[in-house]
Structure 1
């Protein structure tokens, strides 16, 4: 049946995706094949045709061109064509000539591919089995979704991400103080929900000024590519809804909130998660609702998951804070006055938790009364009795104290819907040291300031003449000078006479090799300063500003970060204080001062981050008697702005910004503004330290829980299997890798690379990677390879979802086994269809069941390991492999059937273990939530209902688990001569 005859069915060895082919005609030289399903015709040389005859045997299921199916019992041959004999789905005896087989029949399954002679490389089979093993292991790791991103392992961020992403349809307010990483927390939550399948589509709304920062953060830290949508992009979609253009859509609030049509389009889409940054800008009162708030309210009402981000949840008062919570749970937060009354009770709860701090001895009467006032149920009273009993041991009191503390935190306050950490609570931040140098005003600046002091009308003239704003024209004197210069090309540049430039050159000499970040208000000042440093001091200082492309910014930042060959100084415009981490640097030079306290804190926050090992040295040059010096006094004396972030600078600026601008030339008025600012500053601090904030800080990070999460992440970080798997996978997928030293590797497209791998395009350069978390954190231009990186997920997905490596044939030389003996190594895999949102893999990821049989059907699985067998196998040419398979068809069919029966014995144990894991996890959480809902109205009823439904759906899905053949390798023994 190996001779070609018209009407016979064959498949292409190299293009199996073409489907089943039919011989149209043949002669002594060539054969022509029509592949009906793909409407392709191929002509091959008769002698070298890469074709395999399709011949089914007893037990195989086949499909006719008319769509009905039959199970083959027997075959006969008529004029070189096979006629299949068997039973159809009704049990009736029938015949089906091979010419009438369905063209669309695919041979993706391992059994079909093997029996039709389609075999892959032996190393592909190895990779498939190892992929299944690693995928099973990783999917069950409790740190899945948290281990891959390029982040420091900061406890409060990990706790919040783990807690929120574990909930049913999380709806929370992330309200950490400035610099504590709300964007990272939101990114971690999003990344984990995407990876676990709970979220497929997300809409991210941020202020226009932060769109670039979010774009960069999501790409660099989380390897998430988002669709950045604006009006121009939207119009490019014509009449189509632009919000359907991507799974993750990032849009400017300023644009969306001003465009009713685009709002309707956004609301017409189905979103799984809505993220809104700077949520305190959404305006709401009982009498009036702002357009931004109204838009978010409609979107949040139609979206299950909502994350609101704000560093200042009460910036506009308690009503504003209530408005944010109202977006998360309209039923729970329906009455502002009731919320005000509820807030008053949090002080008592905070005091009770503080009273639990000392358990060395029995509680005194005062502490007992304080706790007893809020411990209002039997469980709490029993724990309180243990703490008060002198007969109880220290260990008993410690356990009771921990349990009672957790109960009070769970049952009181807004801790389930709001997370807020402060620096004083988190700790680990460096000291800040301010160094002020007062310089003499150059004459070019002094003349203008003197005239401003004498002539009140001159300020208006100056604003018109320079085009600058008030008070920028007084604070940024170099900008004023440049704007007033009539002939800029021939005039002396400001950096030639400005003493701050020579002052900076002297400081750079004093600092030796230390890195120095310099930030100036605008791009022109930064560029001029860079010119001045080069011309006057021979110092090469790259400039980092908003007009640079993303690649140019990366290069500048990388040059600054390089310890060996990099530059000492980086000069930034204000954008340099947004979204970049220069934690490796400890010297910050504020060449001028920003006008807003939040921008001041953003500048310092580029260096002052958790994990910074050195004190932050802040250097500020000011001109004596200038408006800049008065602005410095307001920051220092009015709000102690340089010592630590307080999170209330925006409140103070709103209250006194206009008065401050008017007092920059009036010493008496300045004293009054500073005094009033300090009074409000102290009052705001006292208010911040009240009961509810204390409760929130205590609830925002549970150390014992986050420690287990960190251990799971470190386990994946230090996984020795990852580099070995990477080497094998990259080689098979055709990706070239070149070691660069310092744990860095350059990945680039190879000449035979498979298409569609993330970040790798044929003809382009590729990218640099590292598996080291610390190395990736130090280099923005280096990607961190982990089990969660898109490249690895893509390669693993292609292997597991496709047929790559699901058949193979290899030779084995063994002195104890005669030549010509057959073995079959089969890998079965659990199959459990379930919606992605159930995240079934945490309890039952695809699980491999390996079966190794000899030709007599004896089970050798426990005697011969996969690794031990694989390293002794030898490859064989495909043509030889096809001939071997063809000669052993009947024997292989019997082994396939026997192996399936052996594998089925393992299934009940796998299913039972998965059900136990699922029930233990969800039953405990369900019991906790049901009890908690009795006392804390922040636990939503729909959250409990969703958890019950999920448990039921998971139970049914796991119960329906089946095994299917995933891959098979035929092994033929050979003697020494054959080798």
Structure 2
């Protein structure tokens, strides 16, 4: 059957993707083959053509051109063609000539590819097995979805992400104080939902001014490819729905809320999760619903999972707070007056928890007031029994500790809005640095003084200036360099402002002093309000002292900003100073620096806090030194006094700055040129500031703060993440994978490597398009956090996930043939190494991989049927194997065809013996996890109406569906390697 005859079926060894070919004609020299499925025709020499005859054997399933299938039992040859004999799906015996085999038959299964002589490289086979092993390991790790993002391991953020992302269709309010990382928490939740398959499409609505910050944050921290949608982009899609243009859509609230047509398009899409930032600005009262609130309310009724991000909930009042909760669960939060009554009771629960924390750990006396505070909120026998253990002298220390923990969790679970809202404050989160403000008062230069004197004398002059310069009030009087620049824009002989502005020389002196500090890297971040000021200040430093200061502003591309930030971050060769504009500094982490210069002051308290927040971050190793130069008796100095004396804005974030600005911003603007009016504004501001702080300290949401981070659970999550961070297998696997996929890696020192496309790189790898220069990466979390331009490689990085996904979903490495030289094994012996893989068909939303990821079952058989799996390890065998040419491999397989079929069948029987124990272990893990959570939620639902009935039902349905899916788990052959022994060479 080795001679060519028209009608025979062959496949191309070098182009297996062409599919099943049919010999059209042949002579002594040439053979022509039609590959009908790919509509290609090839002509080959009959001398050693790169073709393999397709021959099926007993047990193989084949398909006819008419669509019916046959399980082969026997075959016969008629005029050089094979006729297959077997049973069809109806159990009828039929014959199928090979010429009538379906052209679309695919040879992608390991068994088919092996028996048709299609073998891959041995290093591909090794990589496939290791990929399956590591995929199984990492998918079951409880840190899945939380370990990959480029974030610090901060307990409260990880606790919230773990708690929320584990729920069915989570609908929660993230309300941490400013600076505690709400955006990171939302990103972590989204990242885990995407990786676990519980979400595929997300709509993210943010204020227009934060669109870029969110885009950068999601890309750099979470490696999420987000589509930023605006009107221009939408129009480019013509009549198509622009919200269908990506899986993750980021859009401006102002744009969407103002356009009913775009709202209809957004509502017409199927989303899995909606994220809304700055949700406290959505306008709702019992009498009026704003357009933004109405839009989100409609979408919240259609989308199963909702994350609302908001400032401190009290900031906008209790009615506004109720309005956010109403979006999450309108059935639970349906009446404002009822909610107000419930809120009054939460203070008692907070008092009870704090009393519980005060109870002695030994058998000391319990204060009656603490005991009474706890008993007033206990309403069931279980909780009373736990309190009895805590207060009886017969209990030992361990019993008391366990009872305290259980009772605390019960009170937090059963009372308040803790299941739908998370709020952390700085007083409960450690790791923030001190802030030291250094104010320097300078005399304004003559050019500025002349402007200020005329403004103070002539009220109409301000209007003239606003018209002449195009500046807005109060910015026109705050930024004297900008006013000077605008007034003299048409006078080319006028000196630039930096030549006479004393702040420039003051900055040069500060740079010199900071550079001499011991224990400091001498770096200084300078922020100005206007881009032009930043650019001209950099020019002044270069001209006056030869200082090359990179500038970072909103007019630069992402690559340009990265370059500037990287130059600033480099300790060895980087620059000492970076000059940023207001918008250009948004969202960036410069915590390696602790000197901040506010060359001018921003007009809004939120911008002031945002500036400080570039350096004041959890994990900052130094106190923050804030340097503020101001001109004596100027609008800038008066603004400083309002910030410092009215709201103590330089000390710590309070979350009330926006509220104070809304209340006094107009009066402040009018008082910037009048000292007497200013003091009245400062006094009123400070009075309101203290009042708001007293309200918050009184504890309307103290209960929430107790519930916002459970440290034992947070530590468990952190330990799981560190286990993956420190996984020694990751760098070894990465080296092998990059080599196989043709990616060049170059060590740059300091834990950094540069990845770039190699000459033979396989297409489609994230960040490694062949026309691009690649990217710099690291395995170190700390190194990645210090460098915005460096990507962090982990098991969850898109490059690793693409490589692993491509291997596991394709044919790469699922067949191989190797030679084994061993003195104890006679030459010519045959072995097969088979890797079977569990297959558990289930919807992605069930995330079955938590309990049973694709699991490898390895079987090593010799030709006599002996199972050698336990005697010969995968690593031990692999390092002794030698490669063989493909032509030789095909001949070996052809000569041992029948023997190989039998060995494959024996291997299947051996593997099937392992399946029951694998399934049973997975079911045990599933029941332990879900049964415990179900019991907890059922008990909780009897006390806390925040547990939605659909959440309970969804968990019961999930358990049932998972149980059925696990029962249907089967094994299938994933990869097969033939091993032939050869004689040991004499030394």
Q: How many aligned positions are there?
A: 979
Answer yes or no: is the 8 Å Cα contact 2:315–2:655 preserved in 1: no
Q: How far, CA to CA, are the matches of 2:588 and 2:693 in structure 1? A: 29
DSSP 3-state at the match of 2:700: helix
Answer yes or no: is the 8 Å Cα contact 1:519–1:576 preserved in 2: no
Q: How far, CA to CA, are the matches of 1:840 and 1:850 in structure 2? A: 22
Q: TM-score, normalised by structure 2?
A: 0.98
Answer yes or no: is the 8 Å Cα contact 1:827–1:968 preserved in 2: yes
Alignment pair present for 1:497 and 2:507: no
Answer yes or no: is the 8 Å Cα contact 2:826–2:983 preserved in 1: yes
Q: How far, CA to CA, are the matches of 2:929 and 2:669 in structure 1? A: 59
Cα deviation digits, residues 904-948 of structure 1 (max 9, x gap) = 111110010000000010000000001001111111111111100
Q: How far, CA to CA, are the matches of 2:131 and 2:112 in structure 1? A: 22
Answer yes or no: is the 8 Å Cα contact 2:528–2:534 preserved in 1: yes
Question: Displacement of 1:690 after TM fit?
Answer: 2.5
Equivalent position of 2:366 in the other structure? 363
DSSP 3-state at the match of 1:719: coil
Equivalent position of 1:31 in the other structure? 31
Matches within 5 A, 1:603-642: 603-642=611-650
Equivalent position of 2:924 in the other structure? 916
Matches within 5 A, 1:42-191: 42-191=42-191
Q: CA RMSD in A?
A: 1.2
Q: How far, CA to CA, are the matches of 2:880 and 2:489 in structure 1? A: 84
Q: How far, CA to CA, are the matches of 1:778 and 1:89 in structure 2? A: 62
Answer yes or no: is the 8 Å Cα contact 2:121–2:816 preserved in 1: yes
Equivalent position of 1:773 in the other structure? 781
- Which deviates the most, 942-951 or 534-543? 534-543
- Which deviates the most, 569-578 or 677-686? 569-578
Question: Displacement of 1:738 after TM fit?
Answer: 1.2
Matches within 5 A, 1:533-612: 533-612=541-620
Question: Displacement of 1:315 after TM fit?
Answer: 2.7
Answer yes or no: is the 8 Å Cα contact 2:436–2:625 preserved in 1: yes
Equivalent position of 1:387 in the other structure? 390
Equivalent position of 1:730 in the other structure? 738
Equivalent position of 1:374 in the other structure? 377
Q: How far, CA to CA, are the matches of 2:468 and 2:74 in structure 1? A: 98
Q: How far, CA to CA, are the matches of 1:676 and 1:367 in structure 2? A: 39
Answer yes or no: is the 8 Å Cα contact 1:348–1:691 preserved in 2: no
Question: Displacement of 1:92 after TM fit?
Answer: 2.4
Matches within 5 A, 1:415-434: 415-434=418-437
Answer yes or no: is the 8 Å Cα contact 2:68–2:88 preserved in 1: yes
Moved over 6 A (4+): none
Q: How far, CA to CA, are the matches of 1:552 and 1:45 in structure 2? A: 56
Q: TM-score, normalised by structure 1?
A: 0.99
Question: Displacement of 1:486 after TM fit?
Answer: 5.5
Q: How far, CA to CA, are the matches of 2:81 and 2:770 in structure 1? A: 45
Answer yes or no: is the 8 Å Cα contact 1:362–1:390 preserved in 2: no
Q: How far, CA to CA, are the matches of 2:547 and 2:73 in structure 1? A: 86
Equivalent position of 2:811 in the other structure? 803
Answer yes or no: is the 8 Å Cα contact 2:552–2:585 preserved in 1: no
Question: Displacement of 1:407 after TM fit?
Answer: 1.1
DSSP 3-state at the match of 1:637: helix
Question: Displacement of 1:37 after TM fit?
Answer: 1.2
Q: How far, CA to CA, are the matches of 2:703 and 2:156 in structure 1? A: 15
Q: How far, CA to CA, are the matches of 1:807 and 1:717 in structure 2? A: 32
Answer yes or no: is the 8 Å Cα contact 2:21–2:34 preserved in 1: yes
DSSP 3-state at the match of 2:264: helix
DSSP 3-state at the match of 1:414: coil
DSSP 3-state at the match of 2:313: coil
Alignment pair present for 1:312 and 2:312: yes
Answer yes or no: is the 8 Å Cα contact 2:553–2:585 preserved in 1: no
DSSP 3-state at the match of 1:333: coil
DSSP 3-state at the match of 1:5: coil
Equivalent position of 1:459 in the other structure? 462
Q: How far, CA to CA, are the matches of 2:757 and 2:5 in structure 1? A: 43
- Which deviates the most, 375-384 or 932-941? 375-384
Question: Displacement of 1:537 after TM fit?
Answer: 1.8
Q: How far, CA to CA, are the matches of 2:308 and 2:846 in structure 1? A: 24
Answer yes or no: is the 8 Å Cα contact 2:743–2:757 preserved in 1: yes
Question: Displacement of 1:340 after TM fit?
Answer: 0.8
2:885 pairs with 866, 870, 877, which one?
877
Answer yes or no: is the 8 Å Cα contact 2:359–2:370 preserved in 1: no
Equivalent position of 2:537 in the other structure? 529
In the superposition, relative to structure 1, how do residues 486 and 892 fare at CA in structure 2: closer, same or farther (>3 Å)?
closer
2:651 pairs with 643, 663, 666, which one?
643
Question: Displacement of 1:822 after TM fit?
Answer: 0.4
- Which deviates the most, 448-457 or 177-186? 448-457
Alignment pair present for 1:407 and 2:410: yes
Q: Which runs of 5 or more residues in structure 1 are unaligned?
A: none
DSSP 3-state at the match of 1:490: coil
Alignment pair present for 1:482 and 2:489: no
Q: How far, CA to CA, are the matches of 2:646 and 2:409 in structure 1? A: 39
Question: Displacement of 1:977 after TM fit?
Answer: 4.9
Cα deviation digits, residues 57-101 of structure 1 (max 9, x gap) = 122111111111112222221221111122222332221111111
Equivalent position of 1:685 in the other structure? 693
DSSP 3-state at the match of 1:857: coil
Answer yes or no: is the 8 Å Cα contact 2:938–2:952 preserved in 1: yes
Answer yes or no: is the 8 Å Cα contact 1:202–1:247 preserved in 2: yes
Answer yes or no: is the 8 Å Cα contact 1:413–1:692 preserved in 2: no
- Which deviates the most, 707-716 or 458-467? 458-467
Q: How far, CA to CA, are the matches of 2:695 and 2:785 in structure 1? A: 37
Answer yes or no: is the 8 Å Cα contact 2:601–2:640 preserved in 1: yes
Answer yes or no: is the 8 Å Cα contact 1:911–1:961 preserved in 2: yes
Q: How far, CA to CA, are the matches of 1:171 and 1:14 in structure 2? A: 53
Answer yes or no: is the 8 Å Cα contact 2:70–2:87 preserved in 1: yes
DSSP 3-state at the match of 2:250: strand
Question: Displacement of 1:489 after TM fit?
Answer: 2.2
Q: Which runs of 5 or more residues in structure 2 are unaligned?
A: 516-520
Q: How far, CA to CA, are the matches of 1:206 and 1:978 in structure 2? A: 73
1:509 pairs with 512, 527, 535, which one?
512
Q: How far, CA to CA, are the matches of 1:391 and 1:151 in structure 2? A: 46
Question: Displacement of 1:978 after TM fit?
Answer: 11
Q: How far, CA to CA, are the matches of 2:453 and 2:209 in structure 1? A: 36
Cα deviation digits, residues 328-362 of structure 1 (max 9, x gap) = 00001000011111111111111111111223224
Question: Displacement of 1:533 after TM fit?
Answer: 1.0
Q: How far, CA to CA, are the matches of 2:304 and 2:92 in structure 1? A: 52
Q: How far, CA to CA, are the matches of 2:642 and 2:809 in structure 1? A: 63
Answer yes or no: is the 8 Å Cα contact 1:749–1:760 preserved in 2: yes
Answer yes or no: is the 8 Å Cα contact 1:156–1:421 preserved in 2: yes
Answer yes or no: is the 8 Å Cα contact 2:314–2:696 preserved in 1: no
